[in-house]
Amino acid sequence: MSFVQRFEKAGNSGRVFRPAPFWSWNDELNVDEVRRQIREMARGGFGGHFMHSRIGLASPYLGTEWMESVIAACIEARDTNVQPWLYDEDCWPSGNCGRRITTGRPDHQAKVLYYEIVRPANFRPEPQTVAVFVGQKSGDGPLTGFQRVTDVGEARSLRLKSGEAMVHFAYRTHEYVDVLNRAATGQFIESTHEEYRRAAGRFFGTTVPGMFTDEPLVMNTRPGAAWSLELPEFFRRSAGYDLLDHLPALFFSVPGGQKVRFDYHQALLRLFLLAFTLPLYQWCGRNKLMLTGHFMGEDSCLSQVQYAAAVMPHYEYMHMPGVDHLRRWITSPVGPKQASSVANQFGRSRVLSEIWGASGHNVSFEQLRWMADWQMAFGVNFLCPHLSLYSMRGCRKRDYPPNLFFQQPYWSHFKRLSDTLSRTAAVAATGELVADCLVIHPATSAWVLYGDPSAREELDRIDDDLARLTTELAAMHCDFEFGDETILERHGRVAGGRVVVGKRKYSRVIVPSCVNLKSGTFELLKRVVRGRIPLVFAGRLPSLVDGQPSKSLEQFVARQKQVDAATAKGAAALKKLLKPALQITAARGAADARDVAAMWRQDGQKHMLLLVNLDPAKAHEVSVGLPVQGLVEQLDAATGRVTPVASRTVRGKQSVRLQLAEMASTILVVHKGRKPAKAPAVPAARVRHKKVLARRWQYKRLDPNALLLDVARPAFGEQPAGEPMPVADIQKLLLADGHDTVVQMTFAFASKLDTKRSRRLQLAIERPQEFEIHLNGLRVPLRDEGAWVDPSLRLLDISRLVNRGENVITVRRPFYQRDDHRRRLIGLTDPAGNHTFNNWIYPQVELEPLYLVGDFAVEFSGSYLSGGTFFSGRDVKPWDRLPPGRSVWVSGQPTLTAEAEAGAGQDLIRGGLPFYSGTVELSQTLVLASLPGAGAYLEMAPPDAIVAQVIVNGRECEPLWQRPFRVEVGPHLVKGKNEVTIRLTGSLRNAMGPHHHRGGELYMAGPNQFVGRKRFHRGHLIDNPDYREDYNLVPFGLGGDVVLHY
């Protein structure tokens, strides 16, 4: 198969390069529904799915219904070409088989080491005691001068001198599993992997390609330090001394502490690899499965030392290394480059990204592609979208949106995005990356710094400098790969004038800001210098080897080239030293096109360039200096078209000029040695006029409108109704109370609708059969009239029960909750005092808002104010990029009104559709005095919608979802009257929220962002400062004028 055929197949009929989402199995599983949803995945262009237990699962994990559903997915794959992938845990993080490995097995539970300062008289040795020390304290300064108490039993009788303090080190258990315990991992494999093998092993390696492991971790976040009963002896064998004699070094600044912390984190990493990652890798290999997934904390050196010690060594033992990218943004290349570097070094052809999680329901196709293209430019080529919900019932609908599945109004268009990304992934997986610069990863510097309270700023600087350096390398188009020091120890060497790491070779080496190098790395760098391979130190200079000061290293570094890549002068000097082979500059001038990322791959005589405009707010015209000469073709990933591109050659250097819209990408293929295409003759201009279409449009909804009712007056038992409050807070009050009762919620809404006119009016409610429902004192018949948005939201007819004026709906049902689950839900630890992961816990009775659905408009009595967007999770850094966005705050009371037949097309929120989730047609008549030329086109600003489709005189044009929002209409136009329709399709955002977070439109949306007035804090309800009573919505409508060019 030729490269072009592979490219075309990836976007048409192939499955290998198609996205495969997390498929959230989160309710009662039904085999017929499982098979139906797989067919929906095929319709949306997915090539696979990961069968992933999530919050809300009502069928027993790995039980009969679960395994029957797995088998059904395997069988359905034959007809749909949608591959089922396994996922190795009940929710996440991996390793515990739904808490079965640790229940009743404290030896299998994760352990965290803490210290406390105690008075000897109050000290009581406990089974979890590890050691006792006496430290010296001077005034308000930190403890120093530690001496271990050899006999813990005698610690109570110690007589402390003035300024001394006794420090007790002990571990606490965690409900999560001890990933440093090989026996626990063996039990995990037996309880999970072997269960899958027994049930579905016949599909392994063919229908089922692999298994995802998700965020396994050690718990090394201070004030605790990762611990295991296996660790002291392993450390003794590994480091040659007793860790228990040096425990203060993990928490305090002490002499020699850097060496102890280096040895400790190195032991953590090795034990993690040997006890957990390697056994999973070996089991998958023996059973013809690929191990994929990602590890917790891959984002920075700090987070890695907190959760994994270092992530890159784990990737050696994954058949498909992976990363995670949450939120609506892009950042430095560090994350994807860590995974893709190891993949390339060990000959792994695919790199996975769990992508788009928590980016919110209204993230656009254009933004989804932008984030994916950014990652693919840095080595990712298999997308695992987060996520597709089996059910949106109850809390499930708030599970880190977007929900990328059939419930979204844009789902019928989603295949276009899937096709586009599949073609790009095919290119990103073809041939071999051209990148001959090796960047030494500074993970071991985090080892020596982390735990020293005085070193946090220095560790943050190393992380910032690494992000800044890698961003700078991308901006100067000098591609690189990381060299992890643990991997370099075993696989790094110098041969033939290059540094060889596994299957990769590098001709230049950069040491970024760091304080420590491993002894093996130091020896490798000496060989680099002897081999005359360019070496540059690009930031903070290291002075430690294996955690110990080294004069030899300092003298060596002093003799090497040094630049400060954090400064403009230093970055220019670095570029001069590196001499990037790829030149991408602004079309006018010689400056680097810094906002354009590039990946260069070679496959025989074909050289491929993936170019991505990282700028979310500005288009860029660029000149691309080609690395080789030949015929240039441009590949359009959105359409699959392959077009020859004219180029120019000056003084033996060939280049092409390109225009990249905001967030856009393109692919160039240079066929080395083939004759370049000639520049096409410039056609005579056929478009001479422009006409701005009227701003008033005729409206037509294609889906029912909705009014959200999320505030009610609660009554518990026989008590009178209380004050109105968010439904979310009613649920919290019942959980805080802790008693079974009967709850009644009273909702109110106003209507100006003409009751004599027949129209559709329905109530959308979850599990209506469990409620007594009254509207205006009359019982609502529980006749099911289908579903709205999701099968869980059932429709009841209320068209004859709604009055003009005020209306009251009451819903009443029993409320009950298991106490052990309740304690977790309100923020308490379990009765044993263990720390817990609660991402699987949900209320037995879920109280949810109601929706009125039907043929009406909604108007608010208050104001409509402009709002903004909000990014949470960490501070925004200079290398981070967030797409522009806006929101709307509406206040006052909503009222049902009659729909307008026409109005401004730019603000459908004010036009009566504040909570609408669906498609609207905007139409008008356009009169043309003469027949336009064939080149006529319609252009619009980016709409406030996910997809826009133009229809001219009944003829549909290609849907528009990315810039430029322009479509040819010449063949469809006639002289005289023309009917122009624009079909706008939105998202679930305005229907499903979040609606009340003070940040507005959130670029990080998870369960905690769907806020009420109250929140739990250690079992008590307190005010939530993030709550705002007004409703936050995203604009819906045209983004500006629509213009005909003819």
Residue 836 has pLDDT above 60, yes or no: no
Between the two ends of the chain, the Cα-to-Cα distance in Å is 42
Residue 680 has pLDDT above 70, yes or no: no
pLDDT in tens, 318-328: 999 999 999 99
pLDDT in tens, 221-255: 999 999 999 999 999 999 999 999 999 999 999 99
> Do 727 and 745 form a contact (C-beta atoms < 8 A)?
yes
> Residue 160: inside a domain, yes or no?
no
> Mean pLDDT for the chain?
96
Residue 10 has pLDDT above 90, yes or no: no
* Ranges 414-418, 492-496, 674-678, 997-1001: which has the least confidence: 674-678
* Ranges 3-12, 667-676, 857-866: which has the least confidence: 3-12
pLDDT in tens, 200-223: 999 999 999 999 999 999 999 999
The mean per-residue pLDDT over the stretch 824-829 comes to 83
718 and 637 both lie in a single domain: no
Using a cut of 0.75, tell me whether the model's pTM lies above it. Answer: yes
> Residue 158: inside a domain, yes or no?
no
Dmax (CA) of the chain = 104
pLDDT in tens, 21-61: 999 999 999 999 999 999 999 999 999 999 999 999 999 99
**CATH code assigned at 298:** 3.20.20.80
Cα 788–chain centre separation:
28
* Ranges 1-15, 716-730, 735-749: which has the least confidence: 1-15
Return the CA Rg of the chain.
31
> Residue 261: inside a domain, yes or no?
no
> Do 950 and 966 form a contact (C-beta atoms < 8 A)?
no
Domain boundary among 401, 429, 457: 429
Residue 589 has pLDDT above 90, yes or no: no
Residue type present at position 403:
N
22 and 66 both lie in a single domain: yes
836 and 927 both lie in a single domain: no
Residue 838 has pLDDT above 90, yes or no: no
Residue 212 confidence (pLDDT): 99
719 and 651 both lie in a single domain: no
Secondary structure (3-state) at 247? helix
Residue 686 confidence (pLDDT): 67
Q: Provide, rounded to the nearest whole percent, the portion of the chain with pLDDT above 90.
A: 92
The mean per-residue pLDDT over the stretch 934-960 comes to 97
**CATH code assigned at 654:** 2.60.40.1180
DSSP 274: I
DSSP 1040: S
Q: Is 856 left (phi over 0), alpha (psi -120 to 50) or beta?
A: beta
The mean per-residue pLDDT over the stretch 523-538 comes to 98
Structure tokens at 652: 């033996």
Residue 297 confidence (pLDDT): 97
> Do 219 and 226 form a contact (C-beta atoms < 8 A)?
yes
> Residue 150: inside a domain, yes or no?
no
Residue 833 has pLDDT above 70, yes or no: no
Q: What are phi and psi of 194, to 5 degrees?
A: -70, -35
814 and 879 both lie in a single domain: no
Secondary structure (3-state) at 305? helix
441 and 533 both lie in a single domain: yes
> Residue 930: inside a domain, yes or no?
yes
Residue 832 confidence (pLDDT): 44
819 and 932 both lie in a single domain: no
Residue 679 confidence (pLDDT): 66
pLDDT in tens, 380-426: 999 999 999 999 999 999 999 999 999 999 999 999 999 999 999 99
643 and 568 both lie in a single domain: no
> What total of structural domains would you count in the chain?
5
884 and 962 both lie in a single domain: yes
DSSP 275: I
691 and 613 both lie in a single domain: no
pLDDT in tens, 682-712: 555 567 899 999 999 999 999 999 999 999 9
DSSP H/E element including 448: helix 443-449
Cα 917–chain centre separation:
24
DSSP 328: S
750 and 815 both lie in a single domain: yes
Q: Provide, rounded to the nearest whole percent, the portion of the chain with pLDDT above 70.
A: 98
Nearest to 592 by CA among 608, 607, 614: 614
* Domain coverage including residue 982: 683-696+862-892+900-1046
Instruction: Return the number of other C-beta atoms located less than 10 Å from residue 559's C-beta.
Output: 8
> Residue 138: inside a domain, yes or no?
no
> Residue 704: inside a domain, yes or no?
no
> Residue 143: inside a domain, yes or no?
no
605 and 457 both lie in a single domain: no
Pairing of strands 437-440, 481-483: parallel
Residue 831 has pLDDT above 50, yes or no: no
pLDDT in tens, 67-83: 999 999 999 999 999 99
Rounded CA-CA distance 779/809 in Å is 10
**CATH code assigned at 467:** 3.40.50
Pairing of strands 741-751, 894-897: parallel
Residue 3 has pLDDT above 90, yes or no: no
pLDDT in tens, 157-175: 999 999 999 999 999 999 9
**CATH code assigned at 688:** 2.60.120
Rounded CA-CA distance 943/955 in Å is 21
Instruction: Return the number of other C-beta atoms located less than 10 Å from residue 127's C-beta.
Output: 7
Secondary structure (3-state) at 525? helix
